[in-house]
Structure formats: C-alpha cells, structure tokens
Chains A and B, each alone.
Chain A
Amino acid sequence: MEMREFDSPIQNTWCPGCGNFSILAAAKQAMFELVKSGELKPEQIVMSSGVGCHGKISDFIKINGFYCLHGRVPPPIMGIKVANQLLKVIAFSGDGDSYDEGVSHLIHAARRNLDVAFIVHNNQVFALTTSQVTPTTPLGFKTKSAPKGSFEVPLNPLHLMLSCGATFVARGFTGEIPHLRSLILQAIRHRGFGFVDVLQDCRTFNPTLEKFKPKVYDINKEGHNVGDFAAAWERAKEWDNRIPIGLFYKVEKEIYEKQLLGDRVLVDEKPLPSVQNLLKEFM
C-alpha cells in the first residue's frame, strides 16, 4: 500500500502553517509504518478525535473513524476496545477537549490502562472558537474569555497523567516531526495507555513555534531513565528555560481489556440462545 491511500478526499481547512499539519503528517507516517511492516492491517486501525481544530483530523485520514462529541474521546474508544480488543485505536484530542470538557474521562482511561494511543494537540488555547482560555493557557495570556489576561494556574498534563497511573507518558513538539512520529509509533506499540501531549503551534491565536524551538530538548538523549517515576515527575516540572520533550515514563502493567475480558472478542461471540434456565431460577 502507498501512504497516500490514507489521504481523504476532504479539503483541509486548518490555517496555513497550523501545527496540526505536523501531527497529521506524523500520525499518517506512523500508521503507514505499522501497515507496511505487517504489524497491522489498515482495517484493524480505528482513529478517533474530539471537537475543536484537532478533531478535523478524523476527516483528513481515510481510515475507520469515530468522530466524537466535544471532550468525549475516551468513552467511545473504551467501548470499541471492549467490543473488539483486536482493533488498534489511535485517538486524538485537544487541550480544551480533554483537559477541560472531558478531563474526567481522560483520568479514568489512564487509570484503567486502556490499551490505546492518546495524542493531545495542546495549543494552549481554544482556537476554533476564536481564542478562549483552556486549562493549559499560560498565566497572563489574553484571550476573548480572559481579556485582562488569564489568572488561572495552568494544568500540567504530564503531572496529571503520571498521577493517574498512565503507563506511557510522553511529550512531542510540532516543530520536530520525525521525533513526534517516533513518539506516536511508540505510543501505539505500547501495550497500555500511550499518552502523548503535543506542544502544538497555533499560527493564528498562539504562535509558539519560534518561542519553543530554542528551548526544546529531548530528554531521552540526556540519559533520562524512563522507568524512574520520580525522575519523570522532576523532568515534567521544567518549563521556563528549557522545555523537555520525549518519553518521560513507561511501565508495563496489565491492560484494562485483558482484566475485563481475558482473550474474549465480544463482537465475535454468539449471544445466549435461550434464557430458559435463567427464568427457571425465579420459579
């Protein structure tokens, strides 16, 4: 198969130069690599996204998809995996989508160690609704919903996920596509909740590419031990002078699907043919 077979017929409507293009490219490359290597068949992949600029990615990749309501990416993908754990789910969400509207679902998906890749397009702003604060908007940042500057302490998504028990916690950057592609691939291959927060440039409302570029460094090239939770926590604190990207933490734990189902593939199971014996219990 060719990579362009993943191209959908839909015209892309992101702003020119949007960081989403980098995530789209990295994700498509990662999917292509999985198909080309024979690890997955295209029909085994299901992508999902929420609502916001990021969500449109569902329209831009020609593959099985579940395009969710705002903030509700984790529950449907959990349903998909419970129904058919042989499917590979690659989910996309945004900082407004998953750190704001649907944060409770994100917490529980991580805590349960659902076996999916979960990629958050974090541009620190509600962009599609033309600029309002999200939980990752920096202090003092002015938007339409905080015209005097945001005074709410931003959420640290990596700390959130680490404390929820996510078994794979990473951060990518749209200025580093090959690195991002590699993180997405690792997240997909990780058996468990593969979380990648992606620092994404919003050309229109929060251009960060040039600001972040000189500060970004790859922690995996600086001897970070991905099995060390405390070290991951410390690295995730860094922000002002240097911005760490890469894989912060990874641990093997039993996945939700196995604990719930063992090897059962619910979609293939025959339903109970008769309830007569169950009715007899009531006689």
Chain B
Amino acid sequence: MQDISFVIGGQAGDGVMRTAELLGKTFNRLGLFSFVINDYGSLIRGGHNFCKVRAASRQVWLHRESVDLIAAINQDTISKHKDELTEGGGVLFDSDVAKYEGPHTPLPLPITTMVKQAAGIPIMKNSVIIGAISYLYGIPLDLVNEILTWAYGARADKNIELAKIAYSHAEKNFEQILKVEQVKRPPTPFISGAETVALGAVKAGMKLYITYPMTPSTAILNYVGPNQDELGIVLVHPENEIGVANMMLGAAYAGVRTMAATAGGGFALMQEAFSMAGQAEIPSIFVVGQRLAPAVGVPTYTSQADLRFVLHAGHGEFPRIVVAPGDPEEAFVNAGEAVNLAWKYQTPAIILVDKHLLESYMSIGIDEGKVKIEPADMAESSAGEYKRYRFTDSGVSPMAFPGKPGAIVKVTSYEHDEDGYAIETPDGIENMQKKRLRKMALIEQDLKNRETVKIHGDPKTDNMVVAWGSTKGAILEAMMLLKNPLKFMQVLYLSPFPDWEVSKHLESAKNVVLVEGNLTGQLGSLIAEHTGHHIKNTVLKNDGRPFDPVLLAGKLEEAFGWK
C-alpha cells in the first residue's frame, strides 16, 4: 500500500501551512487520501512551524510521526525532525541557508537562489518546494500547475515557473522516492473541521456568524470571512465574547439562525449569556474549540479538557445540547444537527471541537443530504393572543418573531410568566422551570433517531475502547496496528447523554479502556454518572498533541494485557 509521510518546516510566516495544504490537495486529486496537521506556536514571525503531510491509498485518519522526507526551509527544521526520518529517508533543504550531513540522503536545493533568479518574492520558496516534492513522489507537473492556478489565480505564473525549475532540478539531481499511483475513487473534499462546521451550520439554515478571534476557532472565521457571500451569511465581529453571545441572543430572538464560535476561555466569558439562552429559551449555537487550558494555557495546541466545563456551563438548570464530532464529516453533520436541535427545542447547543479537528485537513467524503433545515415550532397567525412562553405538554412554546402583527414577543433574563413578564411567585417559578426542563426528555427522544454513538472496528469482540472527539483518528489508526481485534465506541452526544446506547455496549464488553486527551478522564466520569459503569483502565494525556497511533497502540496492548 502506498503510504507517504513527509514534514515541511520553516519559520512562522514562511507559508508552510499553505504549502502542505496544497500538496495534500494534490494527492487528494490523485485519488489518494491525505491528512495534514499544522503545528505552530503563538507568534507571527519566527519560531518553528511545521506540517506533516500523509497520503495513502486507504482512508487515513491521522498523520504519521515518522516521515520519509524532510522539506526544510531553514536549518532548524532539519535538527528538529531528523530523528523522525525512516531508513532510506531524504532531507530536502535550502542549500543557500542550510546544511545536512548525516545518515540520510541529502537533497540540496538552492531555493533562495532560484527564487531570486526568477525575480520572485520569498514566499514563493513554497512553490520551489512543491515542484521538488512533486518530482520526488512522481506527481505529474500538469497537476501541480492546476493546483497552483487554483491557489494563486492571476498570480500563479511565477509560482508555476518556479515549481517547474525545481522539478527539473530534482529530476536531474535526485533519485525519485517513489512514483505515486493514482487511486480510482469518487472524489472527496480535502477539508478541515473548521470549514465543515461552518458548512454544516449553513446547510441547517445558519445565516449569521458572530465571533471574536481566538485560536482555534479563528480557523472558522478565516474560512467564513472571505467566503461569506458565497455562504449567503453575514459575519459580525463585536467587541468581546460577552458581546458575541449576547448579540447572538438578540439576533435569534429576531428570527435568524445564528452561530457563535470561541475557545474555552472565550466561552468562560459567555457563561451568563449562555444561561440566559436557557432561561429565555433562545435558540443559540456555541462552537467551543478546545485548546490547552487552564487560563490562556498553550493557545495553539489541542486538548480535550473542557468537556466537564461545557456540560456545567451557565448558572441554573436548563436543557442543553452538547455534541462532539470526531472528524470533519461528523463536524458537518453534527453542526447541522446542533443548529436544528437548538431551534427545535429553543435552547443552547454546543458543538465541542478542538484545535486538532478544526485545523487539520483530511480527505473525507461529505454527503450534504445528511443535513437539512428541520423546521422550528412556529406560532400560527390565528392562534389567539400570543404568549411567548405558553405552557405546553412538551415544554416547547411556539415561536414568533418581533414584527409579526398582533403578537407581542417578550423575552427576558428573569423568571417569567407565559407572556414573558417577570415573576416571583413560587408556583409560577416552578411551573416555568419544569416547562423548560421537560424539553430535555423531548430532545432525548429526538436523539434516539440520530447517531449518538458510533461503533468502529469489530462489533463482536468483548475488548472495547471508549473515546470522544478528535481522538477518534488516533484510535482508528492505532487499531490498524494491533493484531487483536478491537471494538471502539465513539460517543458523539454528551448532553443529553445517550445512556441507552452507551450502557448496552458497556454491558456486552468484558475489557474496556478509556482514551481521552485530558488527565482526569472526563468522559469516564460522565459514563459512571449516567450508567454506573466505572471504567478503571485508562490511557490519558494532555500535552497539546494528538495521540501518536504507534505509541497509543503500545499503550492499548498494555491496557488490554496483550503485552
């Protein structure tokens, strides 16, 4: 099987991410399945940025730590990654600024000179690298030109020229690593979770996106910003996260499906508004992109430590929806579901993602038919005097938006009567509190018709791994490295908690291992709370990086007693 893995590195600002993304897209066009992870620090220029690119003839869920090739814009990249090279690997480097003497094949390329001679600008070093790598993997030059034209439009000419120069240089001086074989398969997007969250929400009727920049959710903004017209949505960037959340409440009150995105720290600032969404029954969608916390933490690195935080966010008791997709396809579907659920049940929904899911790119099929607009319960014009919080058996009161003739639509952060006026009477309070909480059972019923838990691997074996979120990718890859069959239960919905599914699978398993990107086993404690099953066997870490499938496979062997 073809399974290519290489790293491209340079300083922040060198354009490493763009290069990796374009190469990933190139392999995707050839029918290979690509994966690109972007690793960078919290700075604009300097430092060390790198991307690992993987392309294989089967679906890949994660990059590989080991690489067959280093492509280095600077010396630093070589010293940082030389130990990751597999036997027979090569080091492609800018011979104008770097040196390599070591056990692996040196592939010196005068990148800086080439760019200068072509009267290009430094960022075009990337096209030189693309040209050389294309030769090394036998990618046809026409395809490279096609991709560069797609990326740079009218400015593509010089990039195409440089790629060709580098390709010819490589052809003359280097030995090809391998010649990729095209794979025949239906085309799929090569896409990140940030982009699919936005697209899924749009497909479910989201028309307004409000955000304040904060890594990793800025990735969504970076897509939505330049594409807002094509997406048919409006983008607003208010003064702070408190403004974001409260503005979303106002827009949703006035009838527009609105989504807001932030990271854990930003969501901390949104707490009071989140609680108001519950109290005032205003449909609202919060994307929470986890990064390493507490506090500012490590801003550009991934984590899964905010599960308990979002489950308990906001003061008081009210229904909430929390869903945690594990890959860009699930992010598309779950974002759409979150929008629909929030609007059907008039309560806040959280799409819990993380830096790894939002910013990594992969080849993955997306069926837009999985998401459609599910209508909200709207008041009929002839329904008599409108009451925003009319008591109903289900707990859902038909909605109306301000501007509707004859309807007075009052929403409030105070406890209130059916008309939306503040109250303090014990009976009134309890009735309204219970009305809101009744919706939780309804949402649970709704979830029984959706995919709340996914089973991967061998469903018959009694050895089971349990995990959630983007850890999915590392587990699927690790499972392919293990000899023994494994069942993997991926929990998608965290609130309402799908105990009907989770209990069933836990009861049929003999050995269960929990894998999470946090140090306290937050999903494990949630499972114990809802099902009474205590998973004692755990593989936990929280160091900002996704699990390495090779190391994870070893840990799982230990945990299941296979070693």
Interfacial chain A residues near B238, Cβ < 8 Å: 75, 78, 108
Complex alpha-carbon distance, A108 and B191, angstroms: 36
On whether the beta carbons of A108 and B239 are closer than 8 Å, the reply is: yes
Complex alpha-carbon distance, A58 and B388, angstroms: 15
On whether the beta carbons of A79 and B405 are closer than 8 Å, the reply is: no
On whether the beta carbons of A8 and B206 are closer than 8 Å, the reply is: no
Q: Among B190, B239, B253, which residue has its beta carbon within 8 angstroms of that of A282?
A: B190
Q: Among A63, A65, A72, A279, which residue has its beta carbon within 8 angstroms of that of B412?
A: A65
Comparing A83-91, A120-128, A154-162, the segment that makes contact with chain B is A83-91
The 13 sampled A-B contact pairs (Cβ below 8 Å) are: A10-B422, A43-B405, A59-B421, A75-B244, A78-B250, A79-B251, A83-B254, A83-B255, A84-B255, A266-B256, A272-B233, A275-B199, A283-B190
Interfacial chain A residues near B411, Cβ < 8 Å: 65-67
Q: Does A144 contact B (CB under 8 A)?
A: no
On whether the beta carbons of A8 and B421 are closer than 8 Å, the reply is: yes
B200-211 near A? 1/0 per residue, CB < 8 Å: 001101111010
Which residues of A from 43 to 96 have beta carbons under 8 Å from B?
43-44, 46, 51, 56, 58-59, 62-69, 72, 74-80, 82-84, 86-87
Q: Among A10, A84, A105, A108, which residue has its beta carbon within 8 angstroms of that of B403?
A: A84
Q: Does B129 contact A (CB under 8 A)?
A: no
Which residues of B from 394 to 424 have beta carbons under 8 Å from A?
401-414, 419-422
Interfacial chain B residues near A204, Cβ < 8 Å: none
On whether the beta carbons of B276 and A75 are closer than 8 Å, the reply is: no
Q: Among B207, B409, B421, which residue has its beta carbon within 8 angstroms of that of A269?
A: B207
Q: Does B428 contact A (CB under 8 A)?
A: no
Interfacial chain A residues near B408, Cβ < 8 Å: 43, 62-64
If over half of B's interface residues share one DSSP class (helix, strand or loop), that class is named, otherwise mixed; here it is: mixed
The interface of chain B, by Cβ under 8 A from chain A, is 25, 28-29, 187-191, 195, 199, 202-203, 205-208, 210, 227, 230-234, 236, 238-240, 242-258, 272-273, 276, 366, 368, 373, 401-414, 419-422
**Further pairs besides A105-B243, A271-B207: 16, Cβ < 8 Å:** A43-B404, A59-B422, A66-B249, A68-B246, A79-B210, A80-B251, A83-B250, A83-B253, A84-B254, A269-B232, A271-B232, A272-B202, A274-B368, A276-B368, A280-B189, A283-B29
Q: How many residues of A contact B (CB 8 A)?
A: 53
On whether the beta carbons of B402 and A76 are closer than 8 Å, the reply is: no
Q: Does A231 contact B (CB under 8 A)?
A: no
Interfacial chain B residues near A76, Cβ < 8 Å: 246-247, 249-250, 253
Q: 6 smallest A-B Cβ distances: which pairs?
A: A79-B250, A76-B250, A282-B189, A79-B251, A75-B246, A83-B254
Given A67-B411, A83-B250, A275-B368, A44:B403 Cβ within 8 A: yes
In the complex, the chain B residue whose C-beta lies closest to that of A267 is B255
In the complex, the chain A residue whose C-beta lies closest to that of B206 is A271
In the complex, the chain B residue whose C-beta lies closest to that of A101 is B242
Q: Does A1 contact B (CB under 8 A)?
A: no
Given A83-B250, A276-B368, A282-B195, A64:B231 Cβ within 8 A: no
Complex alpha-carbon distance, A267 and B253, angstroms: 10
The interface of chain A, by Cβ under 8 A from chain B, is 8-10, 41, 43-44, 46, 51, 56, 58-59, 62-69, 72, 74-80, 82-84, 86-87, 104-105, 107-108, 260-261, 264, 266-267, 269, 271-272, 274-280, 282-283
On whether the beta carbons of B231 and A272 are closer than 8 Å, the reply is: yes
On whether the beta carbons of A271 and B202 are closer than 8 Å, the reply is: yes
On whether the beta carbons of B231 and A278 are closer than 8 Å, the reply is: yes
In the complex, the chain B residue whose C-beta lies closest to that of A85 is B254
Complex alpha-carbon distance, A82 and B210, angstroms: 11
Listed residue (B247, B248, B276, B408) with the most chain A CB atoms within 10 angstroms of its CB: B247
Interfacial chain B residues near A58, Cβ < 8 Å: 410, 412
Complex alpha-carbon distance, A64 and B403, angstroms: 8
Listed residue (B29, B191, B246, B422) with the most chain A CB atoms within 10 angstroms of its CB: B246
Complex alpha-carbon distance, A72 and B187, angstroms: 48
Interfacial chain B residues near A75, Cβ < 8 Å: 238, 242-247, 249-250
In the complex, the chain B residue whose C-beta lies closest to that of A73 is B246
